[in-house]
Amino acid sequence: MIRTISIAFALLATPASAENIVAFAAASLKTALDDIVAEWNASHDDVVIVSYAGSGALAQQIRQGAPADVFISANMQWMNATSDYSIAQIDLLSNELVIVAGGNQDPIEITDLPILLGNEKLAMALVNAVPAGQYGKAAFEHFGLWDDIAPNVAQTDNVRAALALVALGEAPFGVVYATDAAAEPDVSVVAKFPENSHPPITYPAALLTENGRAFFDTLTGSSAARIFTENGFKVLN
């Protein structure tokens, strides 16, 4: 049985109003989006408040009536689940999937991971609900490794929580996005999954209310593109 571990992740959820814009965003966007939001809030009266979590959890909240103006998912599945609520949608970003280890470690062969793990845990976001976990499971299935690795998987509510397990030494290896690894100095990338081992990693963004239109448009502007690129994302739009 796959073990599930939940780690608290800060969610800044605030009711939408005329004075603020609420954005729901995949946890892997936090470092880059925090910078974009800081620039926005420094020059606008209508403040942007961001709630970060796994894309599946955010999609479910939107479907249940949570007040969000903009939604950025880490895959199309959860964006499609909210399609009835969107006014406009774009493919915003792409990313890469990697294996990380704590500290400075030498590269490994992906196929050696079951042996290297032994009885230790592999940190992954929820493999049936969070895009990073779904991509990771698909990649291991591509290599024929999933059945061997599954008993060792420690699942977390979002990809940043999986990253934290590795950074804190709670798990020797984890599966995260390349941008997550770049944001955490206490881990190193030891392997990259080839693009053909999993579905394309695409971050779609949706405008859910007219209240969020100006910020939604900002996400495709030159300043946002620069910040996303500096954080390792590939800008698609």
The pLDDT of residue 3: 43
**Rounded distance, CA 186 to CA 69, Å?**
34
What is the reported pLDDT for 11?
38
d(CA 210, CA 217): 11
Is the pLDDT at 9 greater than 50? The verdict is: no
Is 132 among the annotated ligand-binding positions?
yes
Q: What is the pLDDT of residues 85-109, one digit of tens each?
A: 999 999 999 999 999 999 999 999 9
Is 28 annotated as contributing to ligand binding?
Answer: yes
Average pLDDT of the segment spanning 11-26: 68
The pLDDT score that the predictor gives to residue 10 is 37
The DSSP bridge pattern shows strands 173-177 and 20-26 to be: unpaired
What domains can you pick out in the chain, each with its CATH number?
Answer: 3-94+202-235 (3.40.190.10), 97-197 (3.40.190.10)
pLDDT score of 237: 72
Please give the Cα distance from 147 to 139 (Å, whole number).
12
- Token digits of residue 15: 């009711």
Please check if 6 is assigned to a binding site.
no
Distance of CA 48 to the CA centre of its chain: 19
pLDDT in tens, 143-199: 999 999 999 999 999 999 999 999 999 999 999 999 999 999 999 999 999 999 999
DSSP string, 35-89: HHHHHHHHH-SSEEEEEEE-HHHHHHHHHTT---SEEE-SSHHHHHTTGGG-SEE
